[in-house]
């Protein structure tokens, strides 16, 4: 029997404040690490990220509705969300939806970076939806991924809006990149 309480966690239950000034990195990472699969929910707020957040296979990140959840860098040269496959097997199932991401006045900040290991060991089944990227080094950077669906993305003032490098079966729907 599956315990439903283990499939859904709220970042605020792990100490995230979401006030735009407190460093919420550790609380968010702890929320992600607390479940093996399921969803991490971010209530409306401005979450300051001083250390990049490492994504986890099978764990979805979902913001409150209405684009009221912002993630902003508190340090230079970080990726707000990232995952790099270092295993010998393809990793699957990544879902991120409903965020606004910005540099917070910091330099060299990336939005979402997902990298596979090589042509045989990719990251697969990626869903990135309804997220806005403002003033970043890049909004989305995918490398050696497969079966990705990217929809409702808006990128403004980013050096690179969406980077798709050596990926297969990637769909982009209703996305806009502008400077």
Q: What is the pLDDT of residues 85-139, one digit of tens each?
A: 998 988 899 999 999 999 999 999 999 999 999 988 999 999 999 999 999 999 9
Q: Which residue has the higher pLDDT, 3 or 54?
A: 54
Percentage above 90 pLDDT, the chain: 89
Angle at 174 between CA 146 and CA 71, to 5 degrees: 80
Q: Is the pLDDT of residue 1 over 70?
A: no
pLDDT of residue 68: 85
Q: What is the pTM of this model?
A: 0.94
Q: Residue 3 — very low, low, confident or very high, per pLDDT cuts 50/70/90?
A: low
DSSP 3-state assignment of 27? helix
**What does DSSP assign to residue 28?**
H
Q: Provide the pLDDT for residue 7.
A: 85
pLDDT exceeds cutoff 60 at 76 = yes
Confidence band (pLDDT; 50, 70, 90) for 50?
very high
Of the candidates 18, 11, 4, the one whose C-alpha atom is nearest the C-alpha of residue 34 is 11
CB atoms within 10 A of CB 107: 10
Mean pLDDT, to the nearest integer, of 6-31? 96
Nearest-angstrom CA–CA distance, 66 and 34: 26
Tokens read off for 37: 């699969």
Helix (H) or strand (E) holding 26: helix 25-33
């Amino acid at each position: 029997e599956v315990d439903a309480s283990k499939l859904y966690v709220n970042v605020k239950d792990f100490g995230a404040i979401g006030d735009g000034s407190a460093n919420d990195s550790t609380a968010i990472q702890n929320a992600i690490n607390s479940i093996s699969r399921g969803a991490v929910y971010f209530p409306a707020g401005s979450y300051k990220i001083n250390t990049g957040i490492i994504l986890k296979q099978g764990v979805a990140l979902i913001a409150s509705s209405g684009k009221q959840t912002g993630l902003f860098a508190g340090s230079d040269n970080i990726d707000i969300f990232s995952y790099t496959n270092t295993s010998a097997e393809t990793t699957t199932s990544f879902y991120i939806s409903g965020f606004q991401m910005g540099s917070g006045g910091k330099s060299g900040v990336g939005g979402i970076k997902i990298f596979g290991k090589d042509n045989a060991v990719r990251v697969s089944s990626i869903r990135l939806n309804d997220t806005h990227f403002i003033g970043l080094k890049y909004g989305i950077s995918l490398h050696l991924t497969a079966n990705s669906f990217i929809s409702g993305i808006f990128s403004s003032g980013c050096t690179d809006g969406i980077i798709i490098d050596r990926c297969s079966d990637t769909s982009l729907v209703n996305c806009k990149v502008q400077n």
